[in-house]
């Protein structure tokens, strides 16, 4: 049987303890559960393997190695092999056959064995660390294995970064190709640059690495399309959502408040499920509080879309284009034949924007008027708030590494005007045909079947969502 992984490029991920080796691999492979990540020194104690698959085959196999702990002493120890082992790789092999490789230098021996058995290595460096003699010793040890080494500067976004000093040291050892890659918040294009630079070191594998880059780009496009489709599904679902009640119930303040609360809970639940799906799509765990905590750390990434503070915040973030503000409260019903359908104005700020501006097709309005019926739907401005929240989440996940431990920040434009507001209006407008189809609200059953017209509208709305995602 042919081994499907036989042609895999083998990469050792090496570096000092707590430089971020496992974190880098979590981000490169989008496997948040891989290995153990901790600020405790020496978290990784054994060499662990993980593959990056392309078309069902392992295109790259990474070997996560323990941290180098005493490279200075080991470098001195290797001098004893100079007489019998003339080249640096010979001295490494001689050391690995001796008792010290299973004793005082056991951790270093694991790293060096991996180095001799791979095509190349990523040297992960915590750019916040001062350049000390131990790091020079580590580079010399790795170079002794005669394998191409590509330095990866981690944590370069930190104010404590010492990137210039590290670049000077690496150049002194002939390591001029250096990749800046923050495992918690990767730079746009950093992953592509990583494999392209590796291709300069492994010329005979350049075509294979080019395929990896192309595959990663295709996967990113597929994720964005899937995210746009999921958000479009929610946009159609919340537009179609409608609750019909008698005017008698509606005019009872206590009963009315319960109806509004039930509607709000339904919308929030649907939106949260959409957020959970987006987290899973990007390889994050729902409510992950260990490695990738999001806002509302102890619970789920959530927001009260109907609160005055949420509306006010959205107004500041989205600007005039979204027409969102905290002063939403009086929603006037459309007058029909000189008669107002109006009890909505009595709700005031209590509704928080939860009622619709309209009652759908003319025929349904006439029937409801004759039957003394009111309808609750989700107002456009509330839908803009929840769509903005989901798009903010997608933008953050697009730029978030799987080693991140901080909270996702929502950026705010101090001028109060962003292109997102206009894009949100386009999404809401695209979903508007669902307003006249209350039967299009997604059912709670597992095998709920969406009508063909609804599926077509979701596809159309997804085309309006995609530009808002692509702005990343």
My answer on whether 451 and 403 are in the same domain is yes
Residue 189 resides in a domain: yes
My answer on whether 247 and 140 are in the same domain is no
Q: Examine the pLDDT at 321 and tell me if it is beyond 80.
A: no
Looking at residue 96, its pLDDT comes to 93
Please tell me what DSSP assigns to residue 437. -
Q: Please report, to the nearest 10 degrees, the dihedral formed by the alpha carbons of residues 305, 306, 310, 311 taken in order.
A: 120
Q: What's the CA gap between 462 and 422, in Å, rounded?
A: 16
Q: Which of 204-225 are b and which e, b meaning 16 or more Cβ less than 10 Å from the residue's Cβ?
A: ebeebbeebbeebeeeeeebbe
Q: Which of the four pLDDT bands, split at 50, 70 and 90, describes residue 310?
A: low
Q: Which of the four pLDDT bands, split at 50, 70 and 90, describes residue 138?
A: very high
Q: What is the pLDDT of residues 462-471, one digit of tens each?
A: 999 999 998 7
**Are the C-beta atoms of 63 and 34 separated by less than 8 Å?**
no
List CB contacts of 325: < 8 A, sequence separation 6 or more: 311, 312, 315
**Spatial CA neighbour of 331 closest among 312, 313, 346, 321:** 346
Looking at residue 448, its pLDDT comes to 65
Supply 430's token pair.
């695209």
Q: What is the pLDDT of residues 10-49, one digit of tens each?
A: 999 999 888 888 878 877 877 655 544 444 444 445 788 8
Q: What's the CA gap between 447 and 472, in Å, rounded?
A: 34
Q: Examine the pLDDT at 356 and tell me if it is beyond 80.
A: no
Residue 340 resides in a domain: yes
Looking at residue 25, its pLDDT comes to 83
Choosing from 150, 170, 201, the residue where a domain stops is 201
Q: Which of the four pLDDT bands, split at 50, 70 and 90, describes residue 304?
A: low
My answer on whether 118 and 242 are in the same domain is no
Q: What is the pLDDT of residues 404-460, one digit of tens each?
A: 555 554 444 434 445 577 788 899 999 999 988 888 988 654 556 788 999 999 999
Tell me the residue range of the domain where 436 lies: 223-470
My answer on whether 397 and 250 are in the same domain is yes
Q: What's the CA gap between 287 and 301, in Å, rounded?
A: 7
My answer on whether 239 and 145 are in the same domain is no
Q: What's the CA gap between 444 and 266, in Å, rounded?
A: 11
Q: Which of the four pLDDT bands, split at 50, 70 and 90, describes residue 385?
A: confident
Question: How is the beta sheet containing 149-154 ordered, strand by strand?
Answer: 48-54, 57-64, 9-15, 120-126, 149-154, 179-180
Q: Which of the four pLDDT bands, split at 50, 70 and 90, describes residue 388?
A: confident
Number of domains in the chain: 2
- Give the residue-averaged pLDDT of 199-223: 90
Q: Which of the four pLDDT bands, split at 50, 70 and 90, describes residue 294?
A: very low
Q: How many helices (H) and strands (E) does the chain have?
A: 15, 10
Residue 207 resides in a domain: no
My answer on whether 331 and 183 are in the same domain is no
CATH of the domain at 115: 3.40.50.300
Choosing from 201, 234, 251, the residue where a domain stops is 201
Looking at residue 415, its pLDDT comes to 40
**Of the ranges 28-37, 53-62, 169-178, which one carries the lowest mean pLDDT score?**
28-37
Looking at residue 373, its pLDDT comes to 66
Residue 208 resides in a domain: no
CB-CB neighbours of 377 under 10 Å: 24
SS3 41: coil
SS3 13: strand
More confident position, 173 or 246:
173
**Of the ranges 3-12, 176-185, 257-266, 345-354, which one carries the lowest mean pLDDT score?**
345-354
My answer on whether 160 and 278 are in the same domain is no
More confident position, 362 or 224:
224
Residue 211 resides in a domain: no
More confident position, 335 or 5:
5
SS3 149: strand
Looking at residue 394, its pLDDT comes to 87
Looking at residue 398, its pLDDT comes to 81
My answer on whether 103 and 232 are in the same domain is no
**Spatial CA neighbour of 152 closest among 188, 191, 117:** 191
- What are the distances in angstroms from CA 4 to CA 57, 60, 199? 6, 12, 22
Q: What is the pLDDT of residues 93-123, one digit of tens each?
A: 999 999 998 888 998 999 999 999 999 999 9
Q: What's the CA gap between 165 and 314, in Å, rounded?
A: 43
Q: Which of the four pLDDT bands, split at 50, 70 and 90, describes residue 332?
A: very low
**Spatial CA neighbour of 46 closest among 22, 67, 24, 65:** 65
Supply 315's token pair.
């107004």
My answer on whether 316 and 407 are in the same domain is yes
More confident position, 435 or 349:
435
Q: Please report, to the nearest 10 degrees, the dihedral formed by the alpha carbons of residues 370, 374, 379, 380 taken in order.
A: -10
More confident position, 246 or 314:
246
Residue 213 resides in a domain: no
CB-CB neighbours of 7 under 10 Å: 12
Looking at residue 34, its pLDDT comes to 56
Percentage of residues of the chain with pLDDT beyond 70: 70
Residue 91 resides in a domain: yes
Choosing from 201, 232, 248, the residue where a domain stops is 201
Looking at residue 206, its pLDDT comes to 92
Residue 3 resides in a domain: no
Please tell me what DSSP assigns to residue 184. S
The single residue listed with the structure tokens 């492994």 is: 202
The rounded mean pLDDT for the chain is 76
Q: What is the pLDDT of residues 389-403, one digit of tens each?
A: 888 888 878 876 655
Percentage of residues of the chain with pLDDT beyond 90: 32
The torsion angles phi and psi of 336, rounded to 5 degrees, stand at: -135, 120
Looking at residue 251, its pLDDT comes to 79
Q: Which of the four pLDDT bands, split at 50, 70 and 90, describes residue 306?
A: low
My answer on whether 148 and 239 are in the same domain is no
Task: Report the predicted TM-score, pTM, of the whole model to 2 decimal places.
Answer: 0.74
Q: Examine the pLDDT at 166 and tell me if it is beyond 80.
A: yes
My answer on whether 228 and 169 are in the same domain is no
Looking at residue 136, its pLDDT comes to 93
Looking at residue 245, its pLDDT comes to 78
**Of the ranges 129-133, 281-285, 304-308, 427-431, which one carries the lowest mean pLDDT score?**
304-308
My answer on whether 32 and 144 are in the same domain is yes
CB-CB neighbours of 287 under 10 Å: 16
DSSP-assigned states of every residue in 59-128: EEEEEE-PPB--HHHHHHHHGGGTTT--SHHHHHHHHHTSGGGGTTTHHHHHHHHHHHTSSEEEEEEETT
**Of the ranges 140-144, 147-151, 211-215, 378-382, which one carries the lowest mean pLDDT score?**
378-382
Q: What's the CA gap between 67 and 40, in Å, rounded?
A: 12
């Amino acid at each position: 049987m042919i081994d499907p992984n036989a042609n895999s490029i083998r990469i050792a991920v090496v570096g000092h303890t707590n430089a971020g080796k496992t974190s880098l691999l979590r981000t490169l492979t989008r496997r948040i559960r891989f290995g153990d990540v901790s600020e405790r020194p020496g978290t990784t104690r054994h060499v662990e393997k993980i593959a990056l698959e392309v078309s069902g085959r392992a295109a790259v196999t990474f070997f996560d190695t323990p941290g180098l702990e005493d490279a200075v002493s080991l470098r001195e120890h290797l001098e004893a092999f100079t007489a019998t082992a003339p080249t640096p790789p010979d001295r490494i092999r001689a050391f690995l056959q001796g008792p010290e490789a299973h004793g005082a230098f056991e951790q270093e021996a694991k790293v060096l064995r991996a180095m001799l058995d791979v095509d190349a290595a990523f040297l992960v460096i915590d750019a916040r660390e001062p350049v000390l003699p131990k790091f020079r010793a580590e580079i010399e040890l790795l170079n002794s294995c005669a394998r191409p080494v590509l330095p990866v500067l981690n944590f370069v976004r930190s104010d404590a970064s010492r990137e210039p000093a590290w670049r000077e040291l690496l150049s002194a050892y002939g390591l001029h190709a250096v990749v800046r890659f923050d495992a918690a918040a990767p730079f746009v294009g950093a992953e592509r640059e990583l494999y392209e630079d590796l291709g300069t070191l492994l010329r005979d594998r350049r075509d294979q690495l080019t395929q990896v880059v192309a595959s990663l780009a295709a996967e990113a496009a597929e994720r964005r399309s899937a995210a746009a489709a999921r958000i479009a599904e929610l946009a159609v679902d919340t537009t179609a959502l409608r609750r019909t009640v008698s005017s008698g119930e509606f005019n009872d303040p206590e009963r009315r408040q319960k109806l509004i609360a039930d509607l709000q809970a339904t919308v929030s639940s649907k939106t949260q499920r959409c957020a959970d799906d987006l987290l899973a799509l990007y390889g994050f765990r729902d409510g992950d509080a260990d490695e990738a905590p999001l806002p509302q750390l102890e619970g789920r990434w959530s927001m009260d879309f109907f609160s005055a503070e949420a509306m006010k915040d959205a107004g500041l973030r989205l600007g005039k284009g979204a027409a969102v503000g905290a002063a939403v409260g009086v929603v006037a019903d459309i007058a029909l034949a000189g008669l107002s359908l109006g009890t909505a104005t009595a709700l005031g700020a209590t509704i928080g924007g939860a009622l619709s501006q309209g009652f759908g097709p003319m025929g349904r309005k006439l029937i409801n008027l004759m039957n003394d019926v009111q309808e609750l739907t989700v107002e456009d401005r509330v839908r803009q708030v929840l769509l903005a929240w989901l798009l903010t989440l997608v933008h953050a996940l697009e730029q978030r590494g799987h080693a991140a431990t901080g909270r996702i920040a929502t950026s705010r434009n101090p001028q109060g005007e962003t292109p997102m507001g206009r894009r949100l209006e386009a999404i809401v407008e695209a979903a508007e045909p669902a307003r006249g189809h209350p039967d299009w609200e997604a059912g709670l059953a597992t095998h709920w079947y969406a009508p063909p017209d609804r599926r077509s509208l979701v596809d159309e709305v997804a085309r309006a969502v995609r530009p808002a995602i692509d702005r990343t």
